[in-house]
């Protein structure tokens, strides 16, 4: 069986998908003790280590993975922290410790020399620069952007840290692969150059219309079918938020539907956001039951990105988060409610991880030797 090593393991979405694809994950590293507990609750026999990737060398990884120095690793994966590249954050790129952890991942890949690697991050990585210049300091009255300030320079810098790999990068929508969620993430997959193999991202199997030989996107209703008679755990809306959420039509909608009650109601509900630009689609949003869910976030009650239940007057529950991400029915998440949302919201959807794992396995299969 192909051997994999996992960094930034989190709640285990990537690891579970890879196991389903045919990989044996020999070592999973996670810095957060609560997230480690989640993995151990569900997979007591899994080799989960609590630690900081910055403290690891190839030798330590092999030792804790119970591998000899002559053993080959087929795949190294990681869903690295994304805040340093998120458009909602300060975009500090690799000057942020979380960005530095991504470069450490690259250094370990170079040292370990697996057949392939997979790195996942937010779409903001595609446009991030090594140095972020505020928008109000750009324009004809300011100097031209330096090479480090040009959009995409962060990704270019990162890829330069994989000199031994033929790298493919793609922005994938999980819904296009059968996940009931329109989740867009960047996937960077490299195959070691001496293998003389080319990785091509798998063709989408689903689309919005079910045309061109594709299957129709799966929906929230599809995900919720397995939740009958399930007890739900969720955070509560404030009384003010609940008042307006009760006005949103059942089945799906958002703040625009408040106009049925008059523009004054809309203004009161939206507050300062009423006059702001943009579509504001996440305000007072009930997700649509007959569509894929929007991207699951680390909280379902963020004001501008609300994830309200299609029919009930509450946010999505942890159980619904798990169903949308397609975790096993019995999956347990450690920690308090907020911690649980963060873990599941940050996970790679299991179905997508499996699809990518199988595609990688197809490319590198001729180089796999069995490790006892």
Predicted local confidence at residue 144, as pLDDT: 61
Higher confidence at residue 170 or residue 128?
170
Predicted local confidence at residue 274, as pLDDT: 92
Catalytic residue among 4, 5, 65, 82: 82
Confidence of residue 372 (pLDDT cuts 50, 70, 90): very low
Structural domains for the chain: 2-207+347-367 (3.40.50.150), 220-342 (3.90.120.10)
- 231-268 pLDDT, tens digit per residue, is 999 999 999 999 999 999 999 999 999 999 999 999 99
Contact 326, 148 (CB under 8 A): no
Predicted local confidence at residue 148, as pLDDT: 80
Is 82 a known active-site residue? yes
Share of the chain above pLDDT 90, in %: 81
Predicted local confidence at residue 201, as pLDDT: 98
- On the question of pLDDT at 133 being above 80, the answer is no
The contacts of residue 282 (CB under 8 Å, 6+ apart) are: 254, 294, 302, 304, 305, 306
Predicted local confidence at residue 188, as pLDDT: 98
- 135-163 pLDDT, tens digit per residue, is 666 666 666 666 687 888 999 999 999 99
* pTM beyond 0.85, yes or no: yes
Confidence of residue 314 (pLDDT cuts 50, 70, 90): very high
Confidence of residue 204 (pLDDT cuts 50, 70, 90): very high
How far, in Å, are 274, 281, 294, 309, 359 from residue 264 at the CA level?
A: 11, 19, 28, 25, 54
């Amino acid at each position: 069986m192909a051997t994999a090593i996992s960094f930034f393991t989190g709640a285990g979405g990537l690891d579970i998908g890879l196991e389903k694809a045919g990989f044996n994950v020999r070592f999973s590293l996670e810095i957060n003790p609560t997230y480690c507990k989640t993995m151990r609750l569900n997979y007591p026999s899994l080799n989960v280590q609590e630690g900081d990737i910055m403290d690891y060398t190839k030798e330590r990884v092999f030792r804790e993975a119970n591998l000899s120095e002559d053993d080959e690793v087929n795949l190294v994966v990681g869903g690295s922290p994304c805040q340093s590249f998120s458009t909602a954050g300060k975009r500090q790129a690799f000057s942020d410790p979380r960005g530095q952890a991504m470069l450490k991942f690259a250094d370990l890949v170079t040292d370990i020399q697996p057949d392939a690697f997979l790195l996942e991050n937010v779409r903001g990585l595609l446009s991030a620069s090594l140095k972020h210049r505020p928008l109000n300091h750009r324009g004809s009255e300011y100097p031209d952007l330096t090479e480090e300030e040009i959009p995409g320079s962060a990704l270019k810098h990162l890829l330069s840290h994989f000199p031994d790999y033929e790298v493919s990068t793609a922005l994938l929508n999980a819904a296009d692969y059968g996940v009931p969620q329109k989740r867009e993430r960047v996937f960077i997959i490299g195959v070691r150059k001496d293998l003389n193999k080319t990785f091509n991202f798998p063709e989408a199997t689903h689309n919005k219309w079910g045309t061109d030989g594709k299957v129709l996107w799966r929906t929230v209703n599809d995900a919720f079918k397995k939740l009958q008679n399930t007890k739900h755990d969720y955070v509560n809306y404030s009384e003010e938020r609940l008042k307006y959420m009760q006005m949103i039509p059942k089945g799906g909608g958002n703040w625009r539907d408040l106009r049925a009650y008059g523009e004054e109601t809309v203004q009161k509900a939206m507050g300062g956001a009423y006059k702001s630009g943009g579509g504001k689609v996440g305000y007072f949003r009930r997700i649509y039951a007959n569509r894929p869910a929007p991207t699951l976030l680390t909280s379902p009650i963020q004001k501008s990105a609300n994830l309200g239940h299609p029919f009930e007057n509450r946010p999505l529950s942890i159980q619904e988060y798990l169903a949308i991400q397609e975790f096993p029915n019995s999956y347990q998440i450690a920690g308090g409610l907020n911690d649980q949302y963060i873990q599941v919201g940050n996970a790679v959807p299991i179905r997508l991880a499996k699809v990518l794992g199988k595609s990688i396995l197809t490319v590198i299969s001729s180089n796999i030797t069995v490790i006892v």
